[in-house]
């Protein structure tokens, strides 16, 4: 059986490099958690530190540039949006719980 080569998205590579930088854990620990080789993680971090773009499959557009720090008004808007989404999700969950109770009591 031939081994297939795994491919990782540029986003995964960036997040893995950022996790290594921000976590304070060793490269070995982070690599083990992600299920990759430490040398691969080292390569991704090097590319991240240099600022050169990671390989992207052909046909995909360049990701939109993001600022590392959002303005307070952007953060407040995001928090409000997430709270609305959480309220809606809780409501949907409650409706589903009631539906399960109703259908569990129905005679067959």
Average pLDDT, integer, range 8-14:
88
CA dihedral 64, 67, 68, 69 (to 10 degrees): -140
- The tens digit of pLDDT for each residue in 26-70 reads 899 989 988 999 999 888 888 877 765 555 445 545 555 555 567
pLDDT category of residue 90 using cuts at 50, 70 and 90:
very high
Cα distance between residue 36 and residue 62, in whole Å: 25
- The helix (H) or strand (E) run that includes residue 75 is helix 72-105
Two structure tokens written together for 5: 């080569």
Residue with tokens 């530190």: 49
Average pLDDT, integer, range 3-20:
85
Measure the N-to-C terminal CA separation of the chain; round to a whole number of Å.
50
Cα distance between residue 73 and residue 60, in whole Å: 31
Q: Candidates 1.10.357, 1.10.3470, 1.10.10, 3.30.750; correct CATH number of 8-57?
A: 1.10.10
CA angle centred on 99, ends 97 and 102, rounded to 5°: 115
Percent of the chain predicted with pLDDT > 90: 25
Identify the pLDDT of residue 84: 95
Length of the chain, in residues? 108
Domain ranges of the chain: 8-57, 70-108
């Amino acid at each position: 059986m031939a081994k297939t080569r795994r491919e990782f998205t540029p986003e995964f590579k960036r997040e893995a490099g950022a996790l290594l930088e921000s976590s304070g854990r060793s490269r070995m620990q982070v690599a083990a958690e992600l299920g990759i080789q430490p040398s691969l993680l080292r390569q991704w971090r090097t590319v991240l530190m240099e600022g050169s773009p990671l390989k992207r499959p052909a046909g995909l557009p360049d990701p939109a540039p993001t600022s590392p720090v959002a303005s307070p008004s952007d953060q407040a808007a995001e928090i409000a949006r997430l709270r609305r989404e959480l309220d809606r999700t809780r409501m949907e969950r409650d409706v589903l719980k009631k539906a399960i109770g109703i259908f569990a009591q129905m005679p067959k």
